[in-house]
A and B are shown apart, each in its own frame.
Chain A
Amino acid sequence: MVNNKKGSHRGDSSHLIVDSCQSYPIKITSVSTLACATFSESSTTTSKALQALTSAALVLPGLLLTPAHASDADRINFQFSRYQEGKRDLFGVPNNLKPITADVLHGSGIFSLTDRTKFNFSYTQDTWSGATPITISPLAANGNRPILGNTATGITTVGASPIINNSQVLLDRDLNPLRQDSQNHQLMNKDPRSVMVLSSASPETRNQANFGLSREWNEAALNVSGGFSRERDYKSNFGNVSGRLDFNQKLTSVKFGSGYTSSNISAILDHDASPYITKTAFSRQIESRGGSEILQGNRHDWTGNLGLTQVLTKNALLEANIGYTHSNGYMENPYKVMTVIFVDPAVLNNNQTTPITGDMRALLEQRPNVRNQVAINTKYIQYVSAFDAALHLGYRLSTDDWGINTHTFDANWVQPIGSGWTLTPRIRYYSQDAAGFYNPYLFSQQTYRRNEVDSLGRQIWIDAKNPNIQYVRDSSFNLIDQNGNLVNEALLNVQPKTASFDAGKLPGNFSSDHRLAGFGALSGGVTLNKMIMKGVALEAGFEYYTRASSMQLGSGGRNGFADFDYYVANAALKLDLESTNLSMPGRNLSQHQDSPTHHQHKAPPAGIMFGHMLDKPGDFMVGYRFMHSWTNGNMMHGAHKVNDQTIVDQGCDTTLCRFTPTYMNMRMHMLDIMYAPAKWWNIMLMPTFMDMDMNLRTLAGRPAPVPGVHEHQGIAGHETGAVGDTMISSLVKLIDIPGHRVHMSLGLSAPTGKVDLQLRRLFQIDGGLIHFGMQLGSGTWDFMPNLTYAGEYNRWSWGAQVNGIKRMENQNKSGYRLGDVFQATTWGGYDLTRWLTASVRGAYTVQGAIHRDFNSFNARIGPMDFPANYGGQFWDIGLGLNAIIPGGRFAGNRFSFEWVQPVRNDFNGFQLERKGALSATWSYRF
């Protein structure tokens, strides 16, 4: 919908793509013809530019592991957190790039296997997207260019373009950048300011899992744990051992630990940026595959620490810790480049006073291969009896051989305020020194590339087909070889022989990553904790953080352009399994242990939602549900396989299709919280979190690419992931007689999942909204009625359910609405043992096609971009297993699994085959 029109705004305001740039970036073949090169007009990028959030994190996940809190009761926690940064300062350049946001989902648990042994696990999933800096350059070099476009309301900014090469940076003789007035091109004063050059990215997801075992003796403990972190371009595995020894009646505890992390980086370099980045230093680590360039690296980290906790008085204690980390391997961030401005020394020293031009280039950053860090941490905790509160004061010092010394001061005040509420305000100040090799940008007094000359000063030419033979030109400009013979130039592909810059003249290590600069940061936050009933607590936290170069301890204030702020908000549900299970002292234990299997009815298969109700008023149920569905294989039309040519011709409405999906996987995480206010009535809340990934391929027989029209490039696909829609439901018992139950539920789905996710802009072409199937929710309020019947007799159980989804609005924020759904399903189950049930289920589902269409640009590259290709009729079979823990420590926990196998699909339009779905649920009543 929006294209840059070359030269159409000539003479307009300063917000132009530079006139002499070509519309479509072309790999630099000859330096002289292009005055500048833009690598993308990006508003959102297909990742690669910056994600690898573990490499974005300068601290690896394995090093941050908090070991099992062995002294805690058994528990299960769920937490959701949202991180949102503010916009970076681009000094007036219009910028509508979205700042970084991250949605984090976390679940963890601690379980006692025996009296003295505990098992702990945790799972974390982060999904990040947004614009981050790739480099820093002089403001006067105009690194961030806005892109204008024609919209209904006139000319508006639709994106920003990062420019990392510019052979026309104006400098004065002291190498200060000069500002040029864009209207009349008149030179103005020197402008020493720097700016971060931003590029943005589509969502990317990282998954991390940790497991651990811990053993408690009377005066000692030992923990062993390990885990891994995975994202598209960063894989990390880690393990550690730690322990504690108590002395002096446990008044003194000595703690020790050590760990190891091994990581592998496989970074797909930004497809648009890569041609403009000088990567010669890493050429041995870069491989080309499928149209993309991949930088490989490995990294190893070793860590050890020793600590002490000492009780000082009956109201105070002190903790001190010292830790050492040794890292080696690939330590760089593969998506960050260093801006080097090459200045020709001959021009600089020619005794004139006119401004000179510098050649601004981007080089992949280089960091030392080794890093040794030492950190000392102290904490003092004081009980304040007047308020029944505790004051926590902490100070940490860290230092390393990169020159980064940091200081952290923090203070928390933990204040219980009655009725199970606890309020904890907190404040933190942090300061770090810059790494020795940090620089916003560099000057180098040499040319980036120069034409080589021979000993007589004649320019050397080579044949591109046979570069080893050198030629020169005679006075009549004819080509002659080394022996003076004339050569027929028409038979050769002759080019000037060029020599690249001498890397030895640059510092061995350099980086403009603002996280290695010197700065200070101040943050303040508050945590609120509420005990809802015995063993269930809700916790909510909020923090605001601001990073300012002027706040650095000591000197500071030289990288204010890199300042930013963020806020984090999170909410958690914490279940204390022991409290909820614990009967009052004095009650008969054995009676309680029988009840879980006695009064709980058999549960329906995992794929059924809203399938059972709680019977006792005041009962609570918490559950977690995970669904993973796969689509891949053949493209189908209706119920039949279809070939590429048919898809090209018919799959895309009035245009021709160019791409088709190869796979699409969808994962849904849901938290079920159910409460029974009365015997006949339950209410349920289900927040959800979705993530999806897919990839595409070119269709055989597709029309040729057209300039100005979006294409899918490279080998990587797309990912989305964030909060999905939230469901609220009210369940009412209709019939409840021995052996048969019928209930009805009226549910509402609130459109908390985004439906306006976009693809990055590529080659000056808008990416537009991402395909219907990759949006995270329906975007509309939906009514979800259902009617369920369940019966049981001895070891047999059976049931049936009809349910539907009726969209209650005509269109969502992006202009369309999903089709309505109707489903009828029936199942039968048989108890294999007292605690294990097997089930078989059949389901028929019909879903309508999408109504209306996107109301803003979508690239329409394949059948998944068209509303008619959604919905259909589906016949599935489900095979499931339900288990309940009958007694003992974990009585009452239920698990169920179900595999749903599609038997027959009758798709609307052209869709990818459905291969099946797996559901797994855990629930616990109390």
Chain B
Amino acid sequence: MIKHQVIFLTGSIVFALLAIFSTSSLMAAQQMSKPSPDCAFTTLDGVPIQSLHAFQGEVVYVDFWASWCPPCVKSFPFLNQLEHEFKAQGLRVIGVNLDEKKADAQEFLDKNPVEFDIVADQTKQCAKDFEVIAMPSSYLIDRQGNIRYVHQGFRQGETDKLRLMVEQFLTEKP
């Protein structure tokens, strides 16, 4: 009977490890180059403002977030820092809010004011166009309007890579 249990236990551990190593190959961050969709942004109250293509010429950091998403909230200090450091060089950080209830987003921003632009995507068309499958999702768009880097999720240790990417896109020649 002991033999059964040992086999069972080792079998489950092996299965676990295999499964994990196979799925972890799923990239949470990808480099690419494809034209970004045009997004119709509105303010939180629904008033339409500039669309995404209007920002061509600047490096745009599009971050899809919602008030109920803890990693989104944790990314805000970093986004504020990026805004501080690189605004002069042509970086534009846009936080696209995907809360279903505007009141939730408003309440959150009242308590945690941010320095970068906040817009809303009421029809969620922008999120669909960008194929957002995770929260938060960050998209780095270069000066020509191409999506160059997609990053899903947020953890403190990933900020270095993101900053590197931003610098790269700010300084590259067309």
Contacts and interface: CB of A to CB of B under 8 A. Distances in A.
A220 B20 contact: yes
B24 interface: yes
Nearest to B154: A115
Contacts of B73: 585
Contact of B24 (A114, A218, A260, A585): A218
Given A73-B70, A217-B24, A220-B19, A326 B157 contact: no
B134 interface: yes
A774 B20 CA distance: 53
Contacts of B133: 249
B70 to A, nearest CB: 7
Interface in B54-78: 70, 73-74, 76-77
A258 B28 contact: no
A813 interface: no
Contacts of A217: 20, 23-24
Given A245-B19, A245-B20, A116 B77 contact: no
Interface residues of B, number: 34
A260 B76 CA distance: 43
B23 A220 contact: yes
Max chain B Cβ within 10 angstroms of own Cβ: one of A220, A328, A582, A583 = A220
A222 interface: yes
Contact of A222 (B8, B16, B112, B115): B16
A219 B28 CA distance: 9
A304 interface: yes
A374 to B, nearest CB: 14
A256 B8 contact: no
Given A241-B13, A326-B1, A586-B77, A114 B157 contact: yes
Contact of A243 (B16, B74, B134): B16
B88 interface: no
Contacts of B24: 217-220
A586 B115 contact: yes
Interface residues of A, number: 31
A116 B133 CA distance: 20
B155 interface: yes
Contact of A583 (B1, B77, B114): B77
Contacts of B19: 220, 243, 245
A258 B12 contact: yes
B9 A302 contact: yes
A249 B13 CA distance: 24
Nearest to A243: B16
A35 interface: no
A304 B16 contact: no
Contacts of B12: 241, 256-258, 304
Interface of A: 73, 114-116, 217-220, 222, 241, 243, 245-246, 249-250, 256-258, 260, 302, 304, 326, 328, 370, 582-587, 589
Given A326-B1, A370-B1, A585-B114, 15 more contacts: A115-B157, A115-B158, A218-B24, A218-B153, A220-B23, A222-B16, A222-B20, A241-B13, A245-B20, A249-B134, A260-B9, A304-B12, A583-B77, A585-B79, A585-B80
27 contacts: A114-B157, A116-B155, A217-B23, A217-B24, A218-B26, A218-B153, A220-B23, A222-B16, A241-B12, A243-B19, A245-B20, A246-B23, A256-B12, A256-B15, A258-B8, A258-B9, A258-B13, A260-B5, A304-B12, A326-B5, A583-B77, A584-B113, A585-B76, A585-B114, A586-B77, A586-B114, A586-B115
